[in-house]
Amino acid sequence: MFRLDRKVAIITGGGSGIGRAIAKVFAGQGAWVFVLDMDQEAGNSVVKEILHEKGKAEFRNCDVSDHLKATGVVENIFAQGGSIDILVNNAGIAHIGTAESTSEADFEKLIRVNIKGVYNCIKAAIPHMKKNGGTILNMASAAATVGIPERFGYSMTKGAVLSMTLSVAKDYVNQNIRCNCISPGRVHTPFVDGFIAKNYPGREKEMFEKLSKTQPIGRMAQPEEIAYLALYLCSEEAAFVTGCDYPIDGGFIRLNN
């Protein structure tokens, strides 16, 4: 079950965290994985790990917020692979701030990366998916549907990702293109460790435990747990699933209210 043999899969932000886990899981299930990331060292490291495990993967340096760059990379992958079967829009940036404290520059950067980046890749991939069908999976967030303190700009962008997911699913359901999104709660990634170290020096353990306990299940998710849900949604076993948002949050959305 859940095999992805002969599938060409694009994973944006695949160099670290959730994207890295998705790239490795997909490759392990037989997909030809293209890792897109701005961090060349991180992207190549993931590819090296996949190749070492006898998987098939390649790295493409890509700033998804750059329309021409993103389009060019997707076109190159199609020319090389002959199809684009799976697109996982995982690349994104975080931000902390209220409406007052969020600068215009940060607001616009969030839009460029978290919203326009998703649009750029979807727009480039869909014409190729229309030929034989395909699957698009977007990374939303629990912050798209639940108010979280000081996540004004970030929540706004993830709400847009959720809305884009529904729109794409509706527009292309008759062309055998499925589109869903995942809404994780807190996930233990290098970003989380870096954020805690930067903002709470000397209190890392305390703050990690505090953030972990905001999920009713009592801990953060591991990136691989998100990757397994992504695998299901991009597999043939999920052929009847489209236009859905899947919370994977340890009960954060439903059990905290």
Residues in CB range of 88: below 8 A, 6 or more apart: 9, 10, 11, 12, 19, 22, 137, 139, 230, 234
Residues in CB range of 84: below 8 A, 6 or more apart: 8, 10, 74, 77, 78, 125, 128, 129, 134
Secondary structure in 3-state letters for 170-234: HHHHHHCEEEEEEEECCECCHHHHHHHHHHCCCCHHHHHHHHHCCCCCCCCECHHHHHHHHHHHH
Instruction: Give dist(CA 242, CA 133) in Å, integer.
Output: 13
Residue 18's nearest CA partner among 217, 234, 185, 206 is 185
By annotation, the residues acting in catalysis are: 154
Provide φ and ψ at 88, rounded to 5°. -110, 110
